Amino acid sequence: MENTFSPEENNQQYYRYDQIAEKLHGLDAVDEEQIIKYRNQGYLAVEEVLTLEEVKKSIDALLELINTRSRGARIELYMKTWDELKTDEERELAVRKVSNFVENDEWLKGIANHPGIMAKLELILGEKPKLAQAIALLKPPGGLDIPWHQDMSVGGLAYDKTVIGVWIALDEAELENGCMHVIPGSHAGGAIPHYALRSWQLCGRDIPVEEDVAVTLKPGGLMLFHGLIKHGTPHNLSAKRRRALQFHYVGISAKKLVPAEYKRMFTNDMTSAEC
């Protein structure tokens, strides 16, 4: 059943803040040893991938899409309507998610096809990667949490082979403003039923909170993560923005799961279990 915790209570109940992920410095550090580590723990954190200039251009591109609303990007708001928003800042702070931007912005398309990132993805996947999804996740001050989940449970990412997420920090992602949290190694447990509660999410009892590791990142840093790793982001209780680009990739031979297989893997239809 859905919890009735306040944002502060939710953050304390479902996350811990004393275990911080180790970081590599630059994509050159993602060598064979680190790829083995990725396979075991389901994620890698890498700082200093995008330059600060590249970060700034990415933010500017997103703001242009938000403020013009005329270039085909899909923009999801936090429980507001566009008519309520009068200034550029109000519009930006009201946005939760931007998608369909790769097709509508050449700069962001270039980030999605970053040669260094693509090379590491090919090493992990064992074949050329293809982009399966591109979204920008904007968590303004007061921004809501994203409950614990597995990304491959989202219909558009339900493939018969591994999906890899690339989460790129555009602001400093800190404990206070809703950085990513993961359960290391949880991808090895396979697909788990999700429930339509506050979001499409895992049941709280399926989260070993004591194993939670927070992935703090500087602007331009990124996290590579397996599509089945359990992860989530707390409410932003700070006065700081936490903006990020998130891309998902699959190998070129991957195929979408048929509906029956998706239901078997990611819903409770087979067991009728309740959360």
Q: Cα–Cα distances in Å, from 177 out to 8, 35, 82, 215, 252?
A: 12, 29, 25, 12, 35
pLDDT, residue 275, reads 86
Phi, psi of 80 (to 5 degrees): -135, 170
The tally of domains found in the chain comes to 1
Does the pLDDT at position 239 exceed 60?
yes
pLDDT-derived band of residue 67, with 50, 70 and 90 as boundaries?
A: confident
Residue 5 in any domain: the answer is: no
**Are 181 and 233 contacting, i.e. CB atoms less than 8 angstroms apart?**
yes
pTM of the model: 0.94
CA pair distance 193, 62, nearest whole angstrom: 34
Q: Which domain holds residue 172?
A: 10-266
CA pair distance 193, 191, nearest whole angstrom: 7
Residue 271 in any domain: the answer is: no
Mean pLDDT of 40-48: 98
Mean pLDDT of 22-26: 97
Domain containing residue 256: CATH number: 2.60.120.620
HEC per residue, the chain? CCCCCCHHHHHHHHCCCCCECCCEECHHHCCHHHHHHHHHHCEEEEECCCCHHHHHHHHHHHHHHHHHCCCCCEEEECCCCHHHCCCHHHHHHHEEEEECCCCCCHHHHHHHCCHHHHHHHHHHHCCCEEEEEEEEEEECCCCCCEEEECHHHCHHHCECCCEEEEEEECCCECCCCCCEEECCCHHHHCCCCCEECCCEECCHHHCCHHHCEEECECCCCEEEEECCCCEEECCCCCCCCEEEEEEEEEECCCCECCHHHHHHHHCCCCCCCCC
pLDDT-derived band of residue 227, with 50, 70 and 90 as boundaries?
A: very high
CA pair distance 254, 7, nearest whole angstrom: 38
Residue 275 in any domain: the answer is: no
pLDDT, residue 246, reads 98
Does the pLDDT at position 255 exceed 90?
yes
pLDDT, residue 23, reads 98
pLDDT, residue 3, reads 64
Q: Which residues pair with 196 in a beta bridge?
A: 200
Residue 193 in any domain: the answer is: yes
Model pLDDT for residues 122-135, shown as the tens digit of each residue? 999 999 999 999 99
Of 53-57, 84-88, 97-101, 205-209, give the lowest mean pLDDT range.
84-88
pLDDT-derived band of residue 274, with 50, 70 and 90 as boundaries?
A: confident
pLDDT, residue 2, reads 55
Residue 100 in any domain: the answer is: yes
Mean pLDDT of the chain: 93
Residue 1 in any domain: the answer is: no
